[in-house]
């Protein structure tokens, strides 16, 4: 199976309902011929149902930014995988560095969420990445191994169509700093080695995305980097021109 490149936009806490619906409507009209790329919008919870409705019948997909591992209960402010699935959501971002570092999500908690998403027949976008201190101490590989090993603990096998991994060095998220091509290639190569050691050949076609200040100016170089199968984008996914430009560059330059 040839990997289809992915461009996923994580809107974080941006865009009202009307702004979000208008945005995806404009985007889909601009990328009608970009079938070579899987495009995923990850808006805030308030817009999920309406955006799923707008994109119904298209090749564009919708993901949530988080989910709770329990199916129901007294968890004020949370949303379950079953609720997301009932709205037509297909993907869920799990383990984003902001969830880890601002909200204190542990590897164990992330592991529970991944199991819940897989059991609910949705696809996790599993985020991993080191801090600046980790990299300065030459601990990048150790951190990536730890996060993958604990995050996927208890997952017996991998279906390449049911898992996406996103490498996002924490020091490059929203900072304007982007990992160098060599740093990205090395990290993605190591992630593939870890997955292969844990799950064998079945993991060779799991898409590995890069995230960390990706924009229209660096996307063409990054997408040609060995091991990069697309992007998980923050700020640049909020702007129509930059998001469409990145999709164009992935369409034109991804070699797989």
Is residue 235 situated within a structural domain? yes
Domain containing 243 equals 6-253
Helices (H) and strands (E) in the chain, counts: 10, 8
Question: Helix 17-30 vs helix 240-253: angle between axes, to the nearest 10 degrees?
Answer: 40
Is residue 233 situated within a structural domain? yes
Residue 32's pLDDT is 83
Model confidence pLDDT, tens digit, residues 180-218: 999 999 999 999 999 999 998 878 899 999 999 999 999
The CATH number of residue 120's host domain is 3.20.20.70
Model confidence pLDDT, tens digit, residues 26-52: 999 999 887 899 999 999 999 999 999
Model confidence pLDDT, tens digit, residues 10-25: 999 999 999 999 999 9
Q: Which residues of 56-66 are buried (b: 16+ CB within 10 A; e: fewer)?
A: eeeebbbbbbb
Mean pLDDT of 91-118: 97
Is residue 112 situated within a structural domain? yes
Is residue 95 situated within a structural domain? yes
Question: Helix 140-151 vs helix 107-119: angle between axes, to the nearest 10 degrees?
Answer: 50
78, 105 contact by CB (below 8 A) = no
Is residue 62 situated within a structural domain? yes
Judged against a pLDDT cut of 90, whether residue 173 lies above it is answered with no
Question: How far is residue 192's CA from residue 173's CA, in Å, rounded to a whole number?
Answer: 22
Is residue 1 situated within a structural domain? no
Residue 69's pLDDT is 98
Is residue 148 situated within a structural domain? yes
DSSP, residue by residue, 150-190: HHTTT-----TTS-EEEE--GGGSSSS----HHHHHHHHHH
Mean pLDDT of 171-186: 86
Mean pLDDT of 46-66: 97
Let me know if 141 is exposed, middle or buried by CB neighbors in 10 A (0-12, 13-18, 19+): middle
Count: domains in the chain: 1
96, 65 contact by CB (below 8 A) = yes
212, 179 contact by CB (below 8 A) = yes
Split at pLDDT 50, 70, 90, the class of 84 is very high
Give the 3-state secondary structure of residue 26. Answer: helix
Q: Of 231, 129, 226, give the one whose Cα is nearest residue 172.
A: 129
The model's pTM: 0.96
Judged against a pLDDT cut of 80, whether residue 231 lies above it is answered with yes
37, 4 contact by CB (below 8 A) = yes
Catalytic annotation, residues = 96, 168
Split at pLDDT 50, 70, 90, the class of 171 is confident
Model confidence pLDDT, tens digit, residues 110-166: 999 999 999 999 999 999 999 999 999 999 999 999 999 999 999 999 988 999 999
Judged against a pLDDT cut of 90, whether residue 172 lies above it is answered with no
Terminal Cα distance for the chain, rounded: 11
Is residue 188 situated within a structural domain? yes
Residue 1's pLDDT is 59
């Amino acid at each position: 199976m040839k990997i289809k490149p992915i461009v996923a936009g994580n809107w974080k806490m941006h865009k009202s309902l009307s702004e979000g619906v208008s945005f995806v409507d404009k985007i889909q009209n601009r990328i009608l011929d970009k079938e070579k790329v899987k495009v995923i919008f990850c808006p805030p919870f308030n817009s999920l149902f309406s955006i799923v409705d707008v994109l119904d019948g298209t090749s564009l997909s919708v993901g949530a930014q988080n989910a709770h591992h329990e199916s129901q209960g007294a968890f004020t402010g949370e949303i379950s995988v079953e609720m997301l699935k009932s709205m037509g959501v297909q993907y869920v971002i799990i383990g984003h560095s902001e969830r880890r570092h601002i909200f204190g999500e542990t590897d164990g908690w992330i592991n529970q969420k991944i199991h819940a998403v897989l059991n609910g027949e949705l696809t996790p976008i599993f985020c991993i990445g080191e801090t600046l201190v980790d990299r300065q101490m030459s601990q990048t590989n150790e951190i990536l191994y730890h996060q993958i090993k604990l995050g996927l603990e208890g997952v017996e096998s991998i279906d390449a169509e049911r898992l996406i991994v996103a490498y996002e060095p924490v020091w490059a998220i929203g900072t304007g700093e982007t990992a160098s091509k060599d740093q990205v290639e090395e990290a993605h190569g190591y992630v593939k080695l870890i997955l292969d050691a844990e799950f064998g050949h079945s993991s060779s076609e799991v898409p590995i995305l890069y995230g960390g200040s990706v924009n229209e100016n660096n996307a063409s170089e990054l997408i040609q980097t060995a091991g990069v199968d697309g992007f998980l984008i923050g700020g640049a996914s909020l702007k129509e021109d930059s998001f469409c430009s990145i999709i164009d560059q992935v369409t034109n330059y991804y070699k797989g």
